[in-house]
Amino acid sequence: MQISDLPYPDPGVPDARSGPRFLVWLGRGQLGGQLQSLGWGMVHFGGVAGLPYAVGLGVEAVVEHDGARLLRVGALLLLLGVAISLGDNMLHRTAVTNWITAAARVQQLLARKTAELGSALTRRVAAGEVVAVSTGDVEKIGWFVEAVSRFLAAAFSVVLVCVGLLFYAPAIGVVVAIGIPVVALAVLPLLPRATQRADVQREKAGRATELASDTVAGLRVLRGIGGEELFLGRYREASQEVRAAAVRSARMWAVISAIQVVLPGALLITVVWYGSALVLDGRLTVGQLVAAFSAVATMLYPLRHFEEIAMAYSFSRPSAKRAARVLSLTRAAAGEAAGPEGGRGAAVAAPAPGGDLCDPRTGLLAPAGRFTAVVCGDPDLAGRLADRLGGHPMDPDGGASALLGGVELDALALDTARGLVLVQDKDPVLLSGTLRELLGVPASGAVEAGAALAAAQCADVLDALLQSAPDGVSDPMDARITERGRSLSGGQRQRLALARSLVTDPEVLVLDEPTSAVDSHTEARIADGIAALRAGRTTVVLASSPLLLDRADQVVLIHEGAVAAVGTHRELLRDDRRYRAVVTRETEEEQRLSRLGHVLTEIEESA
């Protein structure tokens, strides 16, 4: 895989059981690139490892006044220089390619998972964590993947130098062969503590990133309630914790770096001292001493890669763990194996058109082609019900998704399920772009954008977009919407999102509190617009507004997780006190007084 070939046609199915397994999976997926990097690394470090012997041979040739031998040594040095230069250039090229392709693969996997789960993702994982994984964490993961091949090549050169000295100068080679592994492994006892401190730093940095992301997302609300200073103080505390953790981690890595400088220096002094004694005794030539000295001095360079691989793993392991946690989420309920399309097992055929929508958990039945309103006293229960109705069972205690025409939505291919059922949650997101682009979503074509905007009562929104548009823009469809629609009010954003949902014209449309941010007059007109535009199509609205409930063909009351009553709004308002308590917000005292009033009225009539 070359950088020009990105993105991957298919990034594959990751092993997300743990962070280390995910790193191994990434490495296996780039085996060709890793072998290329390793090969060029061996050329580079092999040239570095050969320099000490060439220098030693050159010194011996000078001492023995052997001109021909000196020329051969010069040619060897030239060859080693070419190997070092070419190998270093190609090693850097292939290593960077491995880093970029690994990071790109992780980003593709995260993008695919985000598209698969949709809005349900942020209910399982904080939005700030998703941002942290897709930005900083992919860099750390790519760093480790590309550092592996360079580390293996460096380890090869260390072994080559040690073995070569044992044959070239056995008397001093034994000292080097023992000393270099000691130097390389001396920091091993410190790595667990350094890794632990790095993990703490990454965890605190991740929490600070999440806090910053969530604060920025809600900045407008914070300004409205005067909570900026409170959240600024919280972020200041979090950032100071990150700073303190980073300093503690840096101190440990500084100790490791110091050891990697002090011990090689001590080994170098030992080689010079012991080698000089051997030269004086005639057991070692000057060229062999120079070769041994050069070998130890040269080994300082590849030994740095031992520290680098330890740092790369320490920083990438928590990043890989966070990425694996996000990538392990599936559309399937907890405890059930997800198939390749995100459902359970193999995807099944789509149901025949015109089937009823049923939620087996609550017993809810939404007849095909009718407008069904659902009233839940618990807003969290309503959100989980909307997830199940869309084929995204995100309940922490598991549970199956809804059935459409007798077929479980979660067992369908993702594209098929989303083509059949569309869920608009409480907080829909508007992407930046023109209004035409916003409404340019996959649709049946049966509903025009103008009809959808009219049904959602967006006339004032169109005027507001035109007023804020630059000169020359006369069509509101060409007016631009800022990121998340921040230039619009909450009610205007909600109505644009509703228009976007209506224009898709799905077989089943599920709306969760679609009019919570609009006034009652607008809400009544929206209710009429939805009922008219969705006539003959299955529509489920989760709401407690009497204006919406009164337009529904049937109203279903969910009480304590199960269907408690079914009827029209007026029937349930008259006959069911639980429904009346949710819809009219009556207190228990008011209910008792109401019942007492009914009893007194009946007594008077009977009298």
Q: Please determine, for residue 602, whether its predicted confidence score (pLDDT) is greater than 70.
A: no
CA–CA dist 495, 526 (Å, integer): 9
The CA-CA-CA angle for residues 516, 521, 527, to 5°, reads 65
Q: Each residue of 553-589: b (16+ CB within 10 Å) or e?
A: ebbbbbbeeeebbbbebeebbeebebbbbbbeeeeee
Backbone angles phi, psi at 541, to 5 degrees: -120, 125
User: Cα Rg for the chain, rounded, in angstroms?
Assistant: 35
Yes or no: is domain 357-575 CATH 3.10.450.50? no
Write the pLDDT tens digit of every residue in 273-312.
Answer: 998 998 888 888 888 888 888 888 888 788 888 878 888 8
In this prediction, residue 542 carries a pLDDT of 94
Match 């993990």 to its residue by tokens: 199
pLDDT digits (tens, 9 = 90+) for 387-438: 888 876 655 444 567 889 888 887 787 778 888 899 988 878 888 889 999 8
For residue 342, the model assigns a pLDDT of 44
Q: Which pLDDT score is estimated for 595? A: 56
Answer whether 402's CB lies under 8 Å from 358's CB: yes
Tokens 């290593």 -> residue: 95
| Matching residue, tokens 């914790």 | 241
Q: What is the pLDDT of residues 6-64, one digit of tens each?
A: 788 888 899 988 889 999 999 888 888 899 999 999 999 888 888 888 888 888 888 88
**How far is the C-alpha of 146 from the C-alpha of 323, rounded, in Å?**
18
pTM strictly above 0.75: no
207 pLDDT more than 70:
yes
Tokens of 247: 């300093």
Q: How far is CA 313 from CA 53, 140, 196, 256, in A?
A: 34, 9, 12, 15
- For the cut 90, the answer to whether the pLDDT of residue 556 exceeds it is yes
Quote the longest CA-to-CA distance of the chain.
Answer: 138
Q: Which residue's structure tokens are 């960077």?
A: 96
Q: What pLDDT is recorded for position 343? A: 43
Residues sharing a CB contact under 8 Å with residue 134, sequence separation 6 or more, in sequence order: 107, 110, 111
Interatomic CA distance for residues 270 and 251, integer angstroms? 28
The token pair at 445 is 């074509």
pLDDT band for position 337 (50/70/90)? very low
Percent of the chain with pLDDT over 70: 86
Mean pLDDT of 84-96: 92
Torsion of CA 295, 300, 306, 311, to 10 degrees: -170
Contact call for residues 115 and 304 (beta carbons, < 8 A)? no
Nearest to 105 by CA among 162, 180, 203, 33: 33
In this structure, the strands spanning 407-408 and 403-404 are antiparallel
Please tell me the predicted confidence (pLDDT) of residue 177: 86
Rounded-to-integer distance, Cα 86 and Cα 79, Å: 11
Closest C-alpha among 444, 150, 202 to residue 307: 150
Local confidence band at 452 (pLDDT 50, 70, 90 cut-offs): very high
Mean pLDDT of the chain: 83
Write down the CATH number for the domain with range 7-327: 1.20.1560.10
Averaged pLDDT, 346-373:
85
What whole-number distance in Å separates Cα of residue 557 and Cα of residue 566?
A: 6
CA distances from 323 to 22, 27, 105, 577 (A): 9, 15, 12, 48
Domain residue spans in the chain? Answer: 7-327, 357-575
Token pair, residue 154, equals 């460096």
Half-sphere exposure of 565 (CA within 13 A, CB side): 20
The predicted structure's pLDDT at residue 368? 93
CA–CA separation, 58 and 64 (whole Å): 10
Bigger pLDDT: 231 vs 220: 231
